[in-house]
Amino acid sequence: AVIPGLSMGIIMSYVVGSPFVMQEEYGLSPATFALIFAVNGIAMVVSSQVNASLLNRFPSAGILRIAAPVLLLLAVILPIIIATGFGGVIGLVAGLWVVLGMLGFIFSNATSLALDGYGHMAGTAAALLGCLQVGLAGLISPLVGVFGGSALSMAGVIIGCALAINLVLATTPAYRRGGRRLQGSA
């Protein structure tokens, strides 16, 4: 249940940091920023749709087991793009696009696994999950500003969340079984 909260932390860190990064650090107009924001939102929609089709062939835990390390790898590339200036703003947008896109494979699968086995108290389980998502995102996203409000601080918070997702996932039984899970276990 913590993984969807950390995923929401990534999303909200991007939402909190990107207006300052794109408009002040990279000098984009508000209209250009809005277009980039929409394009990055499309990444999450597209990956969620791809994830839905993958679920016909692979279990949620298996997809999550692959997507989480890929997210971390892509997140680690972000500060390299920023520090080197590789591709300028286009390089940063492309890096953010793939990082945010990976959340479509992580958020929904982790949510599904967290709720699995709690049908008898689905409302309570969903409320707790929602509380964790919003609570963690609310605690994590201000760190972008605390660490300076720059592109590097935004990337650093994203890396921290991606690392935490992998650490939490590594402690689950599904991860230790190679992505295969038993009925009722997450």
User: Across all residues in the chain, what is the average pLDDT?
Assistant: 91
Report the percentage of the chain scoring pLDDT > 70: 93
CA–CA dist 161, 119 (Å, integer): 29
Write out pLDDT tens, residues 69-90: 999 999 999 999 999 999 999 9
Question: Residue 182: pLDDT above 80?
Answer: no
**152 and 82 Cβ atoms separated by less than 8 Å:** yes
- What is the total residue count of the chain? 186
**C-alpha triplet 148, 138, 124: angle, nearest 5°:** 165
**10 and 162 Cβ atoms separated by less than 8 Å:** yes
Question: Residue 101: pLDDT above 80?
Answer: yes
CA–CA dist 70, 149 (Å, integer): 25
Instruction: Single out the residue of 115, 129, 173 nearest to residue 8, CA to CA.
Output: 129
Question: Residue 185: pLDDT above 50?
Answer: no
CA–CA dist 106, 64 (Å, integer): 6
Rg, Å, the chain Cα set = 17
If you average pLDDT over residues 85-112, what whole number do you get? 95
DSSP state of 1: -
